[in-house]
Amino acid sequence: MNDDITILADFDSALYEQVEPPLVSLYLPTHGRVPGDDQDRIEFKNLVDQARGKLAQERERREYKGVDERLDQVAAHLDDLASAVPGGSLAVLVGNDRTYVYQLSYEVGPLAFVGERFYVRPLLRNFQFGSHYFLLGLSADRFAFVHGDFGSLDRVEMPQEVLDEFSEEFPLVYDGHEGALDYASLENHLPPYHGWKSRNDVKKEEAEKFFQYVNRAVTDHLVQGTELPVILVSLPEHQTAFRRISTVPHLLNEGIEKDIGGIEAPELLADAKAVIEHVREARADELLEKLGDAEPHGGGSTDLEAIGLALVERKVRALFVAEGAYIPGGFNDETGEVYLFEREPHGRFQGPELADDFARAALAQDAEVFELDPEKIPGDSGMAALYRY
C-alpha cells in the first residue's frame, strides 16, 4: 500500500484538526470484487468527477492540485482498498497533503462532499459502542476467540505463548495440534467449526479447571490494550460456570447461549449483532433517562445554541442525534456560536451540516455519540446533549 494513504480504524484526531481546505469526503458502497466487474471503479470515478466539478466551480486549480493528485492515487489503488466482501463501504477523506481511508463493514453512500472540514457523520456508526467486538466461544475443553464487526467474523490467531502454556497445562486435552485451542478458519459465508464438538466425557471438574486457564489466557494475552466488548458464546451451564470465575474486562452480561460448535457463521454474526444492539439501546436509554433528570438543573439540553457552547467548554458526556436529521449549518468551535442555513428545496446534502460538526466535536472530547430513532430524541431540534457536570 502506498505510504501516502493512511488506513484508519478508530476515530483519529486528524479528522477534527483544523487543516487547510479544500477537503474532499467520498463514500463508496463496495459490492465485492468479481473478475471483470468494474461497478465500484465506475462509481468511484463518478464521485471523483462530482468532487472535481465542485472544486473547479469554487477554487483555482492551484488551490486543489494536491487533492487532484491524491484522488488519482486512490483510484489507482482502489482494488487494494475496497473490500472484497459485499455490503461494505469505503470512506476516502482527501486534502492537499493527506489521504485517510476507512474500510467500513456497513453500506453508506454514494456521497461526494467538498468543504472546509471532512464530512464524518457517515462514520458515526463505525465509532459507536460495539462496532467492533470479540466473541469468546467456550465448551468444556475447547475455546475460540473471534473478532467481529457489522459484516464479518475473523478468527484471532492464538499467540504462541498461549499455545505453549496450554500444551503444558493440558497434556491430555492438547494433542499437539493447534486445533485443540483454535478452530478451522472462519469465512464470511461458510460454515465454521467443522467437526468441532464438545467431548461428552470431559468431567465437570476438568471443565472448571479449563475455564480458569481460558480466563487467564483471554485476560492476559487476548484483550490487553483494547476496550472492545466481549460476548460469551456457550451453553447456559458453561455461561454460569465461566462468569462465576471470570475476570475478563468488558465481558457483557448478555451472551449467546448456544453451543458454538453447532453455529454457522451467518447465524453467529446475526446473534452477535443482536446482543450489541440490545446493549447499545440499553446504554442509550440509561443516558437519556439521566438527561431527563439533569436537563431541568442545567445538566443537559436540547437547545442547539446551548449544545454548541457546551461542546466548546468540553463538558458534553453524550450527544444524541436523530437518524436522518439534516440541519444545514455549523458552529464556531472557538466561541460555540451556532449558525443555520436555509434548507435546499430538493433536500439533498450540499453544504455544512450541524450534526456533523457537533458529532466531530463530541468525539474529540471522548463523548459518546448515539444516532437514534427521532422519536427517542427529546425536544424538537433533532439533537440533545447530556453534560458531564
Q: Which residues, at least 6 apart from 295, have a Cβ–Cβ distance to it below 8 Å?
A: 301, 302, 378
Residue 262 is which amino acid?
G
The cell for 156 is 484471532
* DSSP, res 110: -
The cell for 101 is 481511508
The cell for 235 is 451453553
CB 302, CB 379: distance < 8 Å: yes
Reduced to 3 states, what is the DSSP secondary structure of residue 205? Answer: helix
Q: Which residues pair with 143 in a beta bridge?
A: 138
In angstroms, the CA 94 to CA 66 distance is: 9
363, with CB counted inside 10 A (0-12, 13-18, 19+), is buried
Q: What pLDDT does 203 receive? A: 56
Q: Which residues pair with 87 in a beta bridge?
A: none
Q: What pLDDT does 351 receive? A: 57
Q: What pLDDT does 189 receive? A: 31
The neighbour count for residue 147, using CB atoms within 10 Å, is 17
Reduced to 3 states, what is the DSSP secondary structure of residue 225? Answer: coil
In angstroms, the CA 320 to CA 193 distance is: 40
Dihedral angle over CA of 374, 303, 318, 115, nearest 10: 80
Q: Which residues pair with 101 in a beta bridge?
A: 7, 92
Domains parsed from the chain with CATH numbers:
5-126 (3.30.960.10), 133-170+198-279 (3.30.420), 298-387 (3.30.1330)
pTM of structure: 0.74
Residue of 277, 260, 235 lying closest to 133 (CA atoms)? 277
Chain centroid to Cα 174, Å, comes to 36
List Cα–Cα distances, 43 to 70, 71, 112, in angstroms.
Answer: 17, 14, 11
The neighbour count for residue 76, using CB atoms within 10 Å, is 11
CB 340, CB 329: distance < 8 Å: yes
The cell for 326 is 439534516
E-state strands within the chain: 6-8, 23-30, 88-95, 98-104, 111-115, 133-138, 143-148, 153-155, 230-233, 300-301, 316-322, 329-331, 338-340, 368-372, 383-387
Q: What pLDDT does 11 receive? A: 78
* DSSP, res 251: B
CB 118, CB 131: distance < 8 Å: no
Chain centroid to Cα 168, Å, comes to 37
Reduced to 3 states, what is the DSSP secondary structure of residue 244? Answer: helix
In angstroms, the CA 50 to CA 99 distance is: 18
Helix axes of 204-217 and 160-169: crossing angle, nearest 10 degrees:
160
Q: What pLDDT does 200 receive? A: 46
Half-sphere exposure (Cβ direction) of 369: Cα atoms closer than 13 Å = 27
Reduced to 3 states, what is the DSSP secondary structure of residue 357? Answer: helix
Question: Checking DSSP bridges between strand 338-340 and strand 329-331, what pairing results, if any?
Answer: antiparallel
CB 382, CB 355: distance < 8 Å: yes
- Average pLDDT along the chain, 389 residues, taken 10 residues at a time: 75 75 93 70 94 92 93 91 77 93 88 89 85 89 84 81 60 42 35 37 67 90 89 94 95 93 87 94 95 95 96 96 85 88 57 83 90 93 93
